[in-house]
Amino acid sequence: MKMTFFKIGFGLIMIGAVGMGLWLINPKNWVKETVSIDEKQECPANESKRIEFEKVINIDEAVEINFRMRDYKWAPKNYIKIAELESRLIPLPGKASFKIKEIGQQNKIGEVLAVEGKTYFYVLFEFKGWPENPKGETIKPKEVDETGWDSAPQIVLIWGDKEYTQDGYGTELLRDKGLKTEKASLQQAEWTTQAAAWYQDKNQEPIFAVKYINKQGQKKYIKINNG
């Protein structure tokens, strides 16, 4: 009799263990209590949505924008809700200017030739920051090409309802054009010539825009008139 009870009890324990194992295997039952700041991707590089423009600028027309920067020095290392993180961030004023010089496309940048059906769209522009823009280890954005949740003001390509950040051929494109390559800074006071390029399908007519985040945290777009 004792042996029988032992077998029954052991069997129940094994059933419970197998059930717990199956529960753990199911990803829906995993709970992540905290998420680090670096794991948050609130602003994908390529977004799909309806885009509205606040204004239009022409080639050779300078535009100054006021954008949001933030200090993360009081940000928690781990947090559960976005509101918990945002409540600890310090918003700061930023300023930058753009002047579009040329918009075009070509089949080769540097030594890289586009395959059939593809092309390189590009924008040549001048950029300058503001000497009083905040800087430091805990300030975001730090660089002019920074993307993500606290992205720097930048030029994006828009096709349909989707936007694309540049693909990183700027330096090679400037060399192809015989232009000086200069590193831009959010704190620089002088104009520097910059380039943005995108490797895309050839059979499209994209829109280009200056994108930035205003002090209220809203994404804003300034359309570039290429007419």
Domain boundaries, the chain: 35-225
Where are the strands (E) in 50-191, listed by range? 55-58, 62-71, 78-79, 90-106, 108-109, 112-113, 118-128, 139-140, 154-159, 162-164
Contact 108, 200 (CB under 8 A): no
pLDDT tens digits for range 61-100: 999 999 999 999 999 989 999 999 999 999 999 999 999 9
**Which one is the CATH code of 35-225: 1.20.1090.10, 3.30.559.10, 3.40.50.2300, 2.60.40.1240?**
2.60.40.1240
pLDDT tens digits for range 34-62: 223 333 333 344 554 679 999 999 999 99
pTM of the model: 0.77
